[in-house]
Chains A and B, each alone.
Chain A
Amino acid sequence: MITLFYLAGAIAVISTAAVIVQTNIVHALLYLILSLLAVAVVFYVLGAPFAAALEAIVYAGAILVLFLFVIMMLNLGQHTRDQERSWLSARMFVAPGIMSALLLGQFLNVMSQIDQDMTITRVGVMEVSALLFGPYVLAVELASILLLAGLVSAYHLAKK
């Protein structure tokens, strides 16, 4: 199980890196989808099947479909690819590289201080719902009000 975790994590990291360096934007999006699916597998392995399924449905299945939808509308061709390639010079990577290296060092430092025995507790749908509608019910209600507002305005826009 833990090898599956490392495998999925490696895929997620590599494909995310590929999203950055890829010049063809459709291929970059494909890598992003792959990265999200790998994260979903990571969630599943770590004992959160509900979060894994939602990751696949909401992020990979809905949001990125809309990304791809917009890209189809934009009619990108060879010139955007050339533009992208001209931006991706080695000099561009220096500052973000230094900053993410600092962040990685900090992260590793924090990780080394917590206990190593990682016990996986499986969190099912029931447990998630009990938490959502128990202690966090206020946040859920706020989010639902936001969604309702979105729904009403979408209805209004569609009615026009």
Chain B
Amino acid sequence: MTLEVGSGLTIGLILGTVIVVAAMLIWVERRLLSFWQERLGPNRVGPFGLLQVVADMIKIFTKEDWVPPFADRFSFVLAPAIIMTVILLSFAVIPFGPNVGVVESNIGVLFILAMASLGAYSVMLGGLSSDNKYALLGSLRAAAQMVSYEVFMGISLLGVVALSGSFNLRTIVEAQEGMWFFIPQFIGFVIFLIAGVAESHRLPFDIPEAEQEICAGYHTEYSGMKFGMFFVGEYLGLVLVSSLITVLFFGGWMGPSFLPPIVWFALKSGVFIAFFILLRAAIPRPRYDQLMSYGWLFLLPLSLINLLVTGAIILST
């Protein structure tokens, strides 16, 4: 049976792979981080500690799933479901290979931006419904951060869209046949990288959940599987941003033909996932006002100039 876009087998495979990869990232991140910090990391459970994921899952599934009596129950339960749904939906428009994907959408880029902006609700509702100081602080920070960085994320993508002339991610990949877009759109790539880290609130931009300052931020009151959904949602976001960078700037599935296209896609995304983990290992967290002023005073003008120059070059040729 061959894979084709939108068949049940493809959808099932993509969904399963994405969730398993996100769960495995818990182990990958701990292992890689420890190598960069001259430690060994979890290596006890199973070969190379691979079964640590299983142990973590057993732990998180059997933990008490507690809803605080002072919380707004409806929003409290809704919040972790939103982030999982939104990020898994975003994977629908990503072309994983020449004929692998869930849907063909002419507004793929816009769809992903829309889903990313809806993801902010998960964080905000989680913090607001917890009725907890730390959670409220975390979601306040998250709201401002995500709304701000969505702007640069969108504008930095417009250069790619202008070059390929389409919002369809598959067309964007096919337009990179001659040259991957990170060469003409290097500034856009850097801005998208930074904004992507901020969107998925990974370190160094994990200000909404900064452990040292505000406990765990918006998911302070969460436990059990609801916390697990936030946790896996963060890793799903990491996978999403990595595969988006691959699709938009690094030619998606393209590569020399000694490996199948899907392997190229996985390799490129894997490199970016490792890079995000390296960011976590290396770079300290900025202060909140530094983050905001960096975004609005530096990244926004830069992305606008990038768009302007790109448009001028396209028009002149």
Contact = CB atoms under 8 A, between A and B. Distances in A.
Per the CB under 8 Å rule, do A and B touch in the complex? yes
Interface of B: 72, 74-75, 78, 105-107, 110-111, 113-114, 116-118, 120-121, 124-125, 127-129, 136, 139-140, 143-144, 146-147, 150, 154, 167, 293, 296-297
A138 B167 CA distance: 25
A60 interface: yes
Given A26-B75, A27-B75, A56-B114, A65 B106 contact: no
A65 B121 contact: yes
Interface string A119-160: 000001100000000000000000000000000001100110
B107 A50 contact: yes
A54 to B, nearest CB: 7
Given A62-B150, A65-B147, 6 more contacts: A49-B105, A50-B110, A57-B110, A61-B116, A125-B106, A159-B297
A49 B124 contact: no
B120 A61 contact: yes
Given A27-B74, A53-B111, A155-B297, A68 B106 contact: no
Contacts of B121: 33, 65, 68
A46 interface: no
Given A65-B124, A124-B106, A159-B297, A56 B118 contact: yes
Interface residues of A, number: 28
26 contacts: A24-B72, A26-B72, A26-B125, A30-B125, A53-B107, A53-B110, A53-B113, A54-B110, A61-B113, A61-B114, A61-B117, A62-B117, A65-B117, A65-B121, A65-B124, A65-B143, A65-B146, A68-B124, A68-B128, A69-B124, A69-B140, A69-B147, A72-B124, A73-B140, A125-B107, A158-B297
Interface string A43-77: 00000011011101100111001101101110000
Nearest to A64: B121
Contacts of A50: 107, 110
A95 to B, nearest CB: 32
B140 A72 contact: yes
Given A53-B107, A61-B150, A69 B114 contact: no
Contacts of B296: 154-155, 158
A26 B143 contact: no
A69 B107 contact: no
Contacts of A72: 124, 127-128, 136, 139-140, 143
Nearest to B168: A125
Contacts of B106: 49, 124-125
A133 to B, nearest CB: 12
B309 to A, nearest CB: 18
Nearest to A54: B110
B75 A30 contact: yes
Contacts of B120: 61, 65
Nearest to B129: A26
A125 B117 contact: no
B310 to A, nearest CB: 16
B68 to A, nearest CB: 16
A56 B117 contact: yes
Interface string A95-132: 00000000000000000000000000000110000000
Contacts of A158: 293, 296-297
A106 B238 CA distance: 52
A25 to B, nearest CB: 11
Interface in A1-52: 24, 26-27, 30, 33, 49-50, 52
